[in-house]
Chains A and B, each alone.
Chain A
Amino acid sequence: MQIERHDMKEPKRKALKMERRDFLQLTALAGGGLMLRSFMGVAAPAQTRAAAPVLSPSAFIRIAADGTVTILAKNPEIGQGIKTVLPMIIAEELDVDWKSVKIEQADLDEATYGGQVSGGSMAIPNNWESLHRVGATARQLLITAAAQTWGVPVSQCSTTSGRVIHAASHRSLGYGELAAKAANLTLPDPVNVPLKDPKQYKIIGHSQGGCDVPAIVTGKPLFGIDVELPGMMHAVFQKCPVYGGRVKSANLDELLKMPGVRHAFTVAGSLATTPGGVDPSGSALEPGVAIVADTWWQAQTARKKLSVEWDQSGCLLQNSKEFAQHAETLSQQSPANTLRSEGDPEGTLKNSAKVVEAAYSYPFIAHATLEPQGTTASYKDGKLEMWTTSQTPGSGKKGVAQILGIPPENITVHLCRVGGGFGRRLNNDYMTEAAWIAKTVSAPVKLLWSREDDFGHDFYRPAGFQYLKAGLDQSGKVVAWRHHFVTFGEGSHTASSANLKNDVFPAGYVPNYALYMTAMPLWVKTGPLRAPGDNAHAFVVESFVDEVAIAAGKDPLAFRIELLQNPAIRATFAESLKPTPGQPMPYKIEPRMNPSRLQGVLQLVAEKSNWKNRKRSPGTGMGLACWYCHLGYFAEVAEVTVNESNQVRVNKVWIAGDIGSQIINPRAAENMVHGGIIDGMSEMNQEITLANGQVEQTNFHQHAMMRMKQAPPEIEVHFKKTDYATTGLGEPSLPPILPAIANAIFAATGKRIRSLPMSGSGFKWA
């Protein structure tokens, strides 16, 4: 069985290395604009985020003669606000007024723009330094152009609001007036251009509205689903309800007689043929039947008449109930893999004054982005053009090139605004399907999945089963910890996003510690869902920490602080990683969790929620949880009321987050944290189940997400600004809300939720 080993949690970070000498050519735009052309050599992608890539300002900035500044947004916009935020960084260093900036979405061109990936909350870590330098380099060119015009030293010139100033002579020139001259200058070395003191920021740290909001509220075509091309047809693609099933026969002739239907054909697909294998490629083409019609509704109507005989030989027809039984059996056996072992965990557990033991589990869940998967593709004369909603369009293009045998240089990819990503679109199966169909019919085609396609053919968040044991000494201090993770995969390999890293809390904070993993086979695709791994592991670990704290007779806050203050850990934490306060560069990322930062947010959320004076009345309770992931630190407190019918209402949530020294776009950041909370609440009561290998849920009524009346009336977001590097926000606010609410339900009712969905424990949302 072949199982994907690649963990998509942090997509491969691409760093461009470029030889700066001789590669830059500057040209003036007709009409006097600035357009810097670059020709850059690209090295192989680096495996780590070592040096920031050197990017050319020409790729990102256009200045028209009238002073209008156009900045290109490089990454896919999936609702995380990146189309606004990355240009904000450039505009800050360029030193222009934000209201004079127009933003344009860049096409896919990673050789020019660097990696164009929206995933892993990595857009800020991967682009912070390079985009600062893009803006600052362009500003330096404009200053030089003005200094030469006036015959004064560069050092006497400054900038403000899109103008270069020579204070001594009271002269100034607008960027628009300087653009043509600047375009003929040699680029300065971006690494040596001066950057702003963060205290001077006028754009970063100041709330700016989302750049597409005016178009969104007026219903302008923006999203992948909105693409329309001359002569375009519409496609649906029916796959086997069981993953990997092949088409034996289908009533294609009947479909071709239906109104509007132009083509109906079977697709053999490109799945790896390893017996028992789920193809690890996120771009793989599943077998199925394509129906192409004049309108989508005609294609969809024809599909209702489709009759397919599927060949499911070689597929595993699994059932969700069997997973739980198998996991329980495996938990009783000796674990297959030891991921970490320190001290004498088993011996210490036997001799502990008190042992706390619990089994936790959670189900498969779906992404259910509100915009279903789809792509528009046009194939003509050996060239393919695509309009897509991928979070990893570069990987998607690569997959299409390989599977269709089209050279990458003959494929153009345009990035559309994306109606929700959540990790679903890190995989690009829909791109391959659209490309295949367009090539087959040699015409522009828009493929759109139905909601039923989407629920039935997701890369699901994998279910998991976790068995924990903690040993306490006489004083209630944790002296031993045993954590056995039963997941999906084979041997030491786990299915995508079904892994557990060996630094999961409290690894490293308990002297006698063991982390084990046992995998069982799975025949369904899995993949990353917002805060992959962490969205489940935080629920398990932080719920169990709450159980242990209560068993130890300690306050859950004090208990966590005590664990985080383990002196052995503090000693090993490198002092050299401390950043220089107030400096935007060098941009240093801490390689592992810094316990003092987690304590910082715990203390802040405790203060804001008045934790020590919290109410303890029957039916109402407060719960606390914290988590570190995606370089961000979050502590959250929820207050819930549970009525006699076990209906849960979340009255209020307090959040404290530390993502470093800057909150780049504060109001958008608050919005995204609200989203993390509500998304996490949805995950507490969703479930995807398999029956005979087929996903049973087909639409939102069977996989409910939070509705407005269930959302907390108050969500209070606090950011603790620290001197550390500014990092991403898409994911880290989500994981702690699940255990915070579960712990609050325990405080309110005395009932511990150890298994999700919470309906299994008798709870539902009010």
Chain B
Amino acid sequence: MAFNLTINQKAVSVDASPDTPLLWVLRDELHLKGTKYGCGLGLCGACTVLMGGQAVRSCLTTVSEAAGKAVVTIEGLSPDGSHPVQKAWETVDVPQCGYCQAGQIMSAVALLASTPHPTDGQIDDAMSGNLCRCGTYTRIRQAIHQAADTSASTAAIPAKKI
């Protein structure tokens, strides 16, 4: 069955069974490998993407639910890693293994879009759906504060074509 999707401001059409999770459409049909599989049950957050500006778990979002909505993945934040959240992650040197970090970054982008200067408590609440098996939470918190300080306006979700 064909679905028309908008991924990172680009219109694409995919042929998949309607219950196929968006995660596997992104990874195996559209070859966007940044979004990761971790649990398949929305427990770990490694597959987090933005849909209509909200952070969602792409392992639980079917391709039919995603049709017609604007989806942003880690690859769509910037063409060159220049999004303030990506820059902050790099400056603070957040990752250890790095597997969860695309999901962490997408959750952080959604948080900063709604709460440009979050407190530690707000960060904890917004980020506690994303597991980091390596335990980089201290650095993630630090990077979110840094991104908030850099520029709240540019930390927004990309609105124009990149």
Contacts and interface: CB of A to CB of B under 8 A. Distances in A.
B110 interface: no
B27 to A, nearest CB: 8
B131 A707 contact: yes
A592 interface: no
Given A370-B133, A700-B131, A709-B128, A219 B93 contact: no
A217 B105 contact: yes
Interface in A653-683: 667-668, 671-672, 674-679
Is the interface on chain B under 10, 10 to 19, 20 to 34, or 35 or more residues? 35 or more
A513 interface: no
A222 B98 contact: yes
Contacts, number: 184
A296 B28 contact: yes
Interface string B42-82: 01101000000000000000000000000001110110110
Given A371-B99, A708-B128, A709-B125, A217 B90 contact: yes
Contacts of B31: 228
A81 B95 CA distance: 9
A699 B90 contact: no
Contacts of A212: 95, 98
Contact of A213 (B27, B34, B93, B141): B93
Given A218-B34, A700-B39, A295 B96 contact: no
Contacts of B40: 450-451, 699
B43 to A, nearest CB: 4
Contacts of A700: 39, 41, 43-44, 131
A353 to B, nearest CB: 44
A671 B136 contact: yes
B124 A417 contact: no
Interface of B: 17, 20-21, 24, 27-29, 31-41, 43-44, 46, 73-75, 77-78, 80-81, 86, 89-90, 93-102, 105, 120, 123-125, 127-141
26 contacts: A79-B99, A209-B93, A212-B95, A213-B94, A216-B101, A217-B86, A219-B32, A219-B102, A223-B33, A225-B37, A234-B28, A369-B133, A370-B97, A370-B99, A370-B133, A371-B97, A417-B98, A420-B134, A674-B138, A679-B135, A707-B129, A708-B123, A708-B124, A709-B125, A710-B128, A713-B120
Nearest to A676: B135
Interface string A232-247: 0010000000000000
Contacts of A79: 95-99, 134
Top 6 closest pairs, chain A to chain B, by CB: A219-B34, A79-B97, A678-B135, A419-B99, A219-B74, A709-B124
B90 A214 contact: yes
Nearest to B137: A711
Contact of B130 (A223, A420, A678, A708): A708
Contact of A675 (B35, B46, B134): B134
B17 A216 contact: no
B89 A213 contact: yes
A13 B149 CA distance: 47
A210 interface: yes
B96 A672 contact: yes
A396 interface: no
B43 A708 contact: no
Contact of B43 (A80, A372, A421, A699): A699
